[in-house]
Amino acid sequence: MANPLDTDAGSELFSSYEAELKLVQADLNQKLDQIAESSGEQRKSAIRQAERALDEANELLDQMRMEKQNIPSAARSKVNARFRNFCTDIDELKRKLKSLSDDRKALFGDRYTDDPSSLEDQHLAQRQQLLSGTDRLERSSARLQESQRIALETEDIGRNTLADLYQQRETIEHARAGLQQSEGYVDTSIKTLKGMARRMATNRIITIAIITVLVLLIFAVIFSKFH
């Protein structure tokens, strides 16, 4: 029997399919037990119900087979193992149903005949085929509607994600423009400070030169007075 799928190992949709398949398996096992314990019309009704359950199980397996492709590779090996277990279980139930269905004496009771061209058998087979086809069509339609709903939800999520990414891009571009403008202001400030530093150095040199000249003049005046 397949083990439960870890929540972090697969998608929520795969997990929902798995849970639904387990319910179908339980129902199918119950129907097979009813077939083994009944005969006549009751047995035929139980076989039809079991066949419908088996069809539903196969459809769920198909859905799971497609959905597991969306699961990350790191977790897919565990999912594949569980999926193979489910396939083995369903195949075993299918063989058991076939064995019970082939027991025609239990199926038809005292009216059983070896004549394969029996009109009653043909009518029963046609009616069973028609009911089975109708049920499969209804379930396929429901699956298609569910897949369409999921596709629309995925499209909405993708559209919202693209809108968010566009807004984030606009924000980043505005921030980049502001940063570039700030860098321009910084460059201008550095140039201004460098100009001021050069002027201060020039003024200092001029001041030192003036002081030196004044000192020399003072020495010259003093020297001229004593000579």
Under the banding of pLDDT at 50, 70 and 90, the label for residue 210 is: very high
Global pTM reads 0.44
77 located within any domain: yes
Taking a C-beta distance cutoff of 8 angstroms, is the pair 107, 47 a contact?
Answer: yes
Q: Would you state the pLDDT for residue 23?
A: 92
What CATH code is carried by the domain that includes residue 14? 1.20.58.400
Q: What is the mean pLDDT of the chain?
A: 80
* CA pair distance 131, 57, nearest whole angstrom: 17
Task: Report, as an integer, the average pLDDT of 11-39.
Answer: 85
Please report where in the chains the tokens 């063989």 appear, as a residue.
95
Report yes or no on 203 lying in a domain: no
Helix H segments across the chain?
Answer: 12-37, 40-67, 73-102, 104-108, 119-226
Closest CA relative to residue 17, chosen from 157, 158, 149, 147:
147
148 contacts: CB under 8 Å, gap ≥ 6: none
* Residue ranges making up the domain that contains 106: 7-112
Flag whether 205 is in a domain. no
> How many structural domains are present in the chain?
1
b/e string for 193-202 if b means 16 or more Cβ within 10 A? eeeeeeeeee
pLDDT in tens, 106-117: 555 544 444 444
Residue 211: per-residue pLDDT: 92
Does the pLDDT of residue 67 top 50, yes or no?
yes
pLDDT bin (cut points 50, 70, 90) of residue 3 is: very low
Residue 45 forms part of a structural domain = yes
C-beta neighbour count of 19 within 10 angstroms: 11
- The answer to whether residue 35 sits within a structural domain is yes
The answer, yes or no, to whether residue 9 has pLDDT greater than 50, is: no
Do the Cβ atoms of 54 and 97 come closer than 8 Å?
yes
What type of residue is 100? L
Domain membership of residue 132 (yes or no) is no
Given pLDDT bands bounded at 50, 70 and 90, which one contains residue 104? low
Which tops the pLDDT comparison, 132 or 98?
Answer: 98
Say what percent of the chain tops pLDDT 90. 7
The structure tokens 């193992």 sit at 81
Q: Is residue 97 part of a domain?
A: yes
**What pLDDT is stored for residue 116 in this prediction?**
47
Q: What is the pLDDT of residue 14?
A: 82
Single-letter residue type at 50: A
The per-residue pLDDT for 108 is 52
Rounded distance between C-alpha atoms, residue 4 and residue 88, angstroms: 15
pLDDT value of residue 33: 86
C-beta separation of 84 from 19 below 8 A: no
Query: Could you tell me which residue, 6 or 43, shows the higher pLDDT?
Result: 43
Residue 142 binned pLDDT confidence (cut-offs 50, 70, 90):
confident
Q: Count other Cβ atoms within 10 Å, centred on residue 35.
A: 24
**Binning pLDDT at 50, 70 and 90, where does residue 175 land?**
confident
